[in-house]
Structure 1
Amino acid sequence: MIAMRRLILAAAAALALAACGANERAARHDPELDRLFVQLEQAPDAETAAPIQQAIMAKWSDSGSPTVNVLIERATAAAAEGDAEMAEGFLDQASALAPDYAEPWRLRANIAYGAEDYAGAIEAIQETLKREPRHFGAMAGLGLIYEELGQHRAALEAFRAALVVHPHYEVALEGVRRLEPRVDGRDA
């Protein structure tokens, strides 16, 4: 009963917010983000890369719409409380308002992964990467999923793809260190 009421409220809120034009920033080209990615790729070490990574993640977390940002915050809080259904409702609203924004899909991937729905997590990561092909966190997440599924070659490729974008990304570096000895010289 409570879950149904939450879904009805979420749907009503989505209809009320639909007129806000929240997709404007997600569809725009962002020269500042492009510049940050160039700096990230050229960073000589992890210490130099860390603030650049944080700046990129801050840009990703801002949809450009206060409405969408609030929906993402609520989805994150609902997921943290273990209410995946409520979180998905907020993410559906955010995606409806900003269909080109990657962050709702990244959060969906996290929720699916937490529920051990690896197919759902992979699908959500693919959607994330359609919207932000440079999302090194999504690529590394894909590597972790493939590794957990025993698909070591695919995992290694995903970690390596993340390192092309962010050469000092620790999750991807660790994945490559773990998997290269197992994968090199044979098909996994």
Structure 2
Amino acid sequence: MKTYKIFILFFFISSFFLSAQSSQKIILDKLFDQLIEVNDSNNAEQLEKKIWSVWNEHPNNDKLTDKLEFGTELMQYGDYNFALRVFDNIIVTDPQWPEAWNKRATLYFLMNDFTNSLNDIEKVLSIEPRHFGALSGQARIFIKLQKYEKAIKSIERALKFYPSFRSRELIPEIERLIKEESI
């Protein structure tokens, strides 16, 4: 009887978590459907803000949301080592939350650790392939590494689901760098 109760409790808890994650996915799907259709920058910017607010909210753990916010503040104030510990802790607690990986990727970028940043970006994109922030960060790393074609591919990948993405403005500059490199 005790095993049965534990099973029922586990079922309800896991159903709750799956429900929260699936409702967040439904919201994101709707926002991305709108984003691909919008043709003015003001509306696109509003949709982008809504998407970021969903990404920054853990689907079922407010404490992780608070930790992410805390780690982000630490990063903004330059306390990179403490921020890294906070993001590591979040990732250990929930390795399926793409925004935790994205924040750590950003931190690694700020620390000039491009290898770890790219690895974390790949993890973000494996969980949320539409993460235009991660793709933009990936493009910026590729530019720093002078891998210009890869940078363009990252931006083009984001433009498939976010046609008015501001990072599109980087493409002509990257193409100029490619031409200069070939001279």
Same fold (TM over 0.5): yes
Contact kept, 8 Å, 1:27 with 1:100, in 2: the verdict is no
Residue 156 of structure 2 corresponds to 160
Aligned with 1:100 (options 91, 96, 106) = 96
Give the deviation of 1:26 after TM superposition: 9.8
- SS class of match (2:160): helix
Counterparts of 1:34-183 in structure 2, within 5 Å, are 34-64=29-59, 65-170=61-166, 172-183=167-178
Contact kept, 8 Å, 1:26 with 1:63, in 2: the verdict is no
Alpha-carbon distance in structure 2 between the residues aligned to 1:127 and 1:25: 20
Report the number of matched residues. 165
Alpha-carbon distance in structure 1 between the residues aligned to 2:76 and 2:43: 31
Contact kept, 8 Å, 1:25 with 1:63, in 2: the verdict is no
Taking a change above 3 Å as real, the CA distance of residues 91 and 153 of structure 1, as seen in their structure-2 partners, is same
Which aligned segments of 4 or more residues in structure 1 are displaced greater than 3 angstroms? 180-184
Q: Which structure: larger Rg?
A: 2
- SS class of match (2:30): helix
- SS class of match (2:95): coil
Ranked by relative contact order (alpha carbons within 8 Å, sequence separation 6 or more), the top structure is 1
Give the deviation of 1:180 after TM superposition: 3.4
Give the deviation of 1:28 after TM superposition: 2.4
Taking a change above 3 Å as real, the CA distance of residues 26 and 91 of structure 1, as seen in their structure-2 partners, is farther
Taking a change above 3 Å as real, the CA distance of residues 84 and 24 of structure 1, as seen in their structure-2 partners, is farther
Contact kept, 8 Å, 1:103 with 1:128, in 2: the verdict is yes
- Give the unaligned 5+ runs of structure 1: 1-19
- SS class of match (1:166): coil
Taking a change above 3 Å as real, the CA distance of residues 25 and 174 of structure 1, as seen in their structure-2 partners, is farther
Contact kept, 8 Å, 1:71 with 1:94, in 2: the verdict is yes
Identity, % of aligned pairs? 25
Taking a change above 3 Å as real, the CA distance of residues 85 and 182 of structure 1, as seen in their structure-2 partners, is closer
Q: What is the RMSD of the two structures over their aligned residues, measured on CA atoms? A: 2.4
Give the deviation of 1:179 after TM superposition: 2.1
